[in-house]
Amino acid sequence: DSLIALANAIIITRRLIRTAWTTHRWDTRPTRRP
């Protein structure tokens, strides 16, 4: 169960980073997505 929870946490974190990367912009933000 702990491995499933860890995998879910990683997947959710990556999804949040990607959505924030495209929606929250600033002037010196790099254009490449992670």
Whole-number pLDDT of residue 30: 64
pLDDT in tens, the chain (34 residues): 999 999 999 999 999 988 887 777 766 666 666 5
Q: What is the pTM of this model?
A: 0.58
Whole-number pLDDT of residue 8: 97
The reply to whether 6 falls in a domain is: yes
The reply to whether 34 falls in a domain is: no
The reply to whether 22 falls in a domain is: yes
Which domain, by its residues, includes 14? 1-29
The reply to whether 23 falls in a domain is: yes
Whole-number pLDDT of residue 7: 97
The reply to whether 13 falls in a domain is: yes
In order, the DSSP letters of 1-33 are: -HHHHHHHHHHHHHHHHHHHHHHS--TT--SS-
Whole-number pLDDT of residue 31: 64
Number of independent structural domains in the chain: 1
The reply to whether 9 falls in a domain is: yes
Distance CA 32, CA 34 (A): 7
